[in-house]
Structure 1
Amino acid sequence: MAPRAGSASAFSRAEAQDRFRELRSATGLIDDAELDNVWAALETVRPEEMLGSWKGAQFVTGHPVNAMLEKARWFGKTFVSRTDVKPMICRDDEGNLYSDTKLGKGEASLWSVDFRGEVTASMVYDGQPIIDHFKKVDENTVMGIMNGKGAVVDGRYLYFLLDRI
């Protein structure tokens, strides 16, 4: 069972940052519980810290959305302001970046939301029941967990990361 708020993390913050770096370059499937342990030790982030453009990558856990994001050529996210977020920046056939509002069912906004007993920056999709929660790995990298009725499949979350461009 992964640690939740109020319980001790399996890692110190520094250990979680080190393990995050190892997992982001791992090949093969990554265990959800290990990602939860890393998440539990990371620092929360304020919405204002998310502003800007971010390149995304996903942790391959076998979650069904892993294949969907790859097929969509998902590139990352752009946080213009708290009320103007482009969650599905993708590449077209020519390699150009665009906001895929069809796939994202609109765009999104940025809020402070309680998740697992901690308030952290969270992106709320406009047109679907999905919330992406973020925690800070370092000044230019965040870890994300996709949550909500449209994202949790068989009790499993999608785990991803964003690097500031």
Structure 2
Amino acid sequence: MTTVDPSFDVLLSRANRGDVRTDEALALFDTLPAVRPEEMFGEWRGEEFPTGHPMDGLLGATGWAGKRFEDADRVHPLLFWNAERTGTFPVDPIRVPMGLPVPTGLRRPWLHRVITAGRPLLATSRYTARLRATEYRGVSTATMIYDARPINDVFRRVSETRLLGLMDHRGDAAPYFFVLYRP
């Protein structure tokens, strides 16, 4: 059984205060062990790991809940909370405007209301990603590959129930970091 490295919790706490940058997060990522794709199956809750990326704060404000991996070929990469936060629904990533600038000051809970109100247009029952082992930064590890976006989410193990992920999006200068944990 893998235990949580206390330095991860310290770094996550610092990240949530805005005190961690990409190079420090990548250094941590590089120390963590790989994850096999089959270890990812099931539902995972998500939280952001801020590093100064332009997306920091956006997923939290929109009500992002996490990801669901049914198996290697059936993945819901974006789960959002319903209005009551009692359940989740999958969103089709192709319907989410990735380049839409939302200034940091506007990343407020009302964005969650926009997502839930747009559920009829955004939600999907289709699986929109796959899970494979790929090599990233010299390590072969579980990677979620979006079907219709140039995005790979790469995962490393923090503990048996927690992962550090990063979104490698073509065109971004740096990766976007997040944490997944078993509910």
Under TM normalisation by the shorter chain, which class is it?
0.7 to 0.9
1:64-83 equivalences in 2 (<5 Å): 64-83=54-73
Residue in 2 aligned with 1:93?
83
**Which structure's relative contact order is higher, taking Cα pairs within 8 Å and 6+ residues apart?**
2
More strand by share: 1
SS of aligned partner of 2:174: coil
2:163 counterpart of 1:142: yes
Task: Give the match for residue 113 of structure 2.
Answer: none
Counterparts of residues 16-165 of structure 1 (less than 5 Å): 17-26=5-14, 27-29=16-18, 30-95=20-85, 96-101=87-92, 102-103=95-96, 107-149=128-170, 153=172, 155-165=173-183
Shift of 1:52: 0.8
TM-score by length of 1: 0.82
Contiguous gaps of at least 5 residues in structure 2? 99-121
Deviation at 1:65, TM superposition (A): 1.7
1:63-86 Cα deviation digits (max 9, x unpaired): 122233123210111111100111
Quote the Cα distance in structure 1 between the aligned partners of 2:71 and 2:84: 28
> What is the aligned length?
149
Paired residue type of 1:36? L
SS in 1 for 2:45: strand
> Which deviates more, 94-103 or 133-142?
94-103
What is the rounded CA distance, in whole Å, between the counterparts of 1:129 and 1:31 in structure 2? 23
CA contact (8 A) 2:67 2:77 kept: yes
Structure 1: segments with no counterpart, 5+ residues: 1-12
Q: Is the 8 A contact 1:75 1:91 kept in 2?
A: yes
| Contact 2:48-2:57 within 8 A present in 1 as well | no
CA RMSD, Structure 1 to Structure 2 (Å): 2.2
**1:142 Cα deviation from its structure 2 partner:** 0.7
Quick one: percent identity of the two aligned structures?
Answer: 32
Query: Helix, strand or coil for the counterpart of 1:144?
Result: strand
Q: Give 4+ residue runs of structure 1 displaced > 4 Å after superposition.
A: none
Q: What is residue 109 of structure 2 aligned with on the other side?
A: none
1:79-138 deviations in Å (ceiling 9; x for gaps): 111001111100132323100113399621100101011110000001100000001111
Q: Which has the larger radius of gyration?
A: 2
Taking the aligned partners of 2:7 and 2:22, their CA distance within structure 1 comes to 13
